[in-house]
Structure 1
Amino acid sequence: MRHEWFIEPREYARQEQRRGRRFAFTSLVPARTALVVVDMVPFFVTESPYCQGVVPNINRLAEVLRGAGGTVAWVVPATTERTAIDEEFYGPEVAEVFRTSGGTGPVPERLWSGFAPHEDDLFAEKSAASAFFPGRCDLPELLARKGIDTVVITGTVTNVCCESSARDAKTLGYRVIMAADANAARRDQDHNATLHTVYRTFGDVRPTDEIVELILRS
C-alpha cells in the first residue's frame, strides 16, 4: 500500500515565486549525500501496509546511492529507561512497549527482514524521536566523518520521527530532501501534513524517481 501523497499547487507556486524555482536543491554530490532510514524495524513495519509499501523504494534509493559512492545510514530506536514523564504521558504499559520498540542486538539484525544492509553502511540508535537531536543519537557525528552535507529522509513514522529528524537536520545545517513515497505514516492526511510542512520550511520533497535522477546525473 502506498500513500496518495500530495502537495498543493499553491505551495509550489509560493516557492517558485520566492526563489525562482520549485526545488531548492537542483543537484547533489553523491559522495556527500546520505540516505537516512528511520525506524524501519518489525515493531512499526509488521502491522503497517504503508510501511511495507515503502520498502522497495528505500531499497532502490539505497542501491543507487551506494553505487554512486554515497552513504546509507540505518537508524533504530534505542532501548531506553522508562521515565515518570513517559508513564504519565503514555501510561505504564504503552511506555514499556515504546521503550523496547527497537528490539535488541546488533542494529543490522533489528531491521525489517526486507532489507539487506551492507557492512560499510552506517548504523545508529536514537533515544529521541529525532535522529539528529544533539546527545540523543550519534548519527550527526558519523555523517560528519564522511563529510555529508545532504540527507535524504526515509522511513517511519512520517509525521513523528521522520519529520523530527528532517527539522533537526535542517537546524544543524544539512540540505534536507524528504522522499515523498519512501516515508510511511498511519494515514494519508498525516503523511501529507508533514510533506507540506517540510516543503514549506525545512527542505525539498521529491518522489523516489526524481531523487534517483538527481543521484545519477550528478
Structure 2
Amino acid sequence: MTTPPWIVDPATCALLVIDMQNDFVRAGFPMAVPMARERVSVMREVIDTCRGAGIPVIYTQHILYDTFDVSPLETAYIPRLRESGMRDGSHGAEIIDELAPEPGEMVIRKHRYDAFHNTPLHSVLNTIRGLRRVDTVIIIGTLTEACCESTARSAYMHDYRVAFIEDATGALSDSAQEATLRSIRGFFGRVLPASALTEELGG
C-alpha cells in the first residue's frame, strides 16, 4: 500500500461543502444531480465528523440573477439556466435542509464554478482558525466534475492540500465522477472515502 504524501490533520483543515442547494439536489429541479441526492447521508456524516472534531465547515452557494446574466458563458453552455436555477433569494438557491449550515458557519456566494474566483474564500480560510493556520481543504458536494473539481484545482494553485471525498461528491454520470477522481488523484490532491477521512481525523 502506497504511503500517502500527507495525513489530514484536524487542527489545520477546513471542510468545503460545495453547492448542495435544492436546485442541484431535489428531483425535478433545474440542475438536479441524482448522484448528489443519493450521497446526502454520507455528506451528512462527513459534516458531523468535522463539526465533532472542531473543524470549520464552509458552504458555497452558486447564485444567478433574474435582473442580469452574471455568468454569461455558463448560461451559453447550459441555456436552461437563462430562465431558472439558483436564483438569488429563491428556495432553489438555498442549501438543502439535511445539510443546513449551523449559526455562525460561513456561506460563500459565488458566480463561477471555482469557489475561490472573486469570492472571500481564500481570506476566510486564511483566518478562520487564526492567521494562515488552515493548510488543507476537504471537499464534498456537487457537481463533482464542475464546481468541486474547479475548486479543488484552485485550492491546489493556492497551495492548499486537497482531500477530495469520493463517496461524498456527486457527478452527472459515473464516467464523469471517475474522470475527476483520476485527475485529482494524479495531480491535485488525495482522493479518499469518507471512512478513511474519519479514521485520519481520529474518529
Q: TM-score, normalised by structure 1?
A: 0.79
Flag the 1:83–1:59 CA change in 2: closer, same or farther, 3 A: closer
Q: How does 1:85-100 map to 2 (within 5 A)?
A: 85-86=72-73, 89-90=76-77, 93-97=79-83, 100=85
Structure 1 distance, partners of 2:11, 2:187, is 25
Cα 1:142–1:189, aligned 2, differ >3 Å: closer, same or farther?
A: same
Structure 2 unaligned residues grouped into runs of 5+: 28-32
SS at match of 1:114: helix
Once the two structures are TM-superposed, the CA of residue 54 in structure 1 deviates from its matched residue by 1.5
Contact 1:86 1:95 in 2 (8 A): no
Report the alpha carbon displacement of residue 85 of structure 1 after superposing the two structures with TM: 4.7
The whole-number CA distance in structure 2 between the counterparts of 1:162 and 1:88 is: 19
Is residue 158 of structure 1 aligned with residue 144 of structure 2?
yes
TM-score (norm 2): 0.84
Structure with more helix by fraction: 1
Q: Give 1:73's aligned residue.
A: 58
Q: Deviations over 1:145-194 (max 9, x none)?
A: 12321101111010011000000000001010100000001110000000
The 5-angstrom pairing of residues 55-66 of structure 1 reads 55-66=40-51
Distance apart, 1:52 and its partner CA:
1.3
Deviates further, 68-77 or 44-53: 44-53
- Number of residue-to-residue matches in the alignment: 192
Give the counterpart of 1:203 among 189, 193, 196: 189
Aligned partner of 1:113 in structure 2 is: 97
Aligned Cα RMSD in Å?
Answer: 2.5
2:121 pairs with 1:139: yes
Deviation string, structure 1 residues 189-209 (Cα, Å, up to 9, x no partner): 000000000000000000000
- Are residues 61 and 171 of structure 1, via their aligned partners in 2, closer, same or farther at CA, if it must alter by over 3 Å? same
Q: Say which SS state the counterpart of residue 76 (structure 1) adopts.
A: strand
Three-state SS of the structure 1 residue aligned to 2:101 is coil
Uncovered stretches (5+) of structure 1, i.e. residues with no partner: 1-11
Q: Percent identity?
A: 28
User: Which entry has the higher C-alpha Rg, 1 or 2?
Assistant: 1
How far apart in 2 are the matches of 1:65 and 1:118? 13
1:14-48: CA deviations, max 9, x gaps? xx4xxxx2x222x2331321110111101110133
The 3 A distance-change label for structure 1 pair 192 and 83 is same
Residue equivalent to 1:174: 160
Q: Partner residue of 2:171?
A: 185
Q: For 1:216, what is the secondary structure of its paired residue?
A: coil
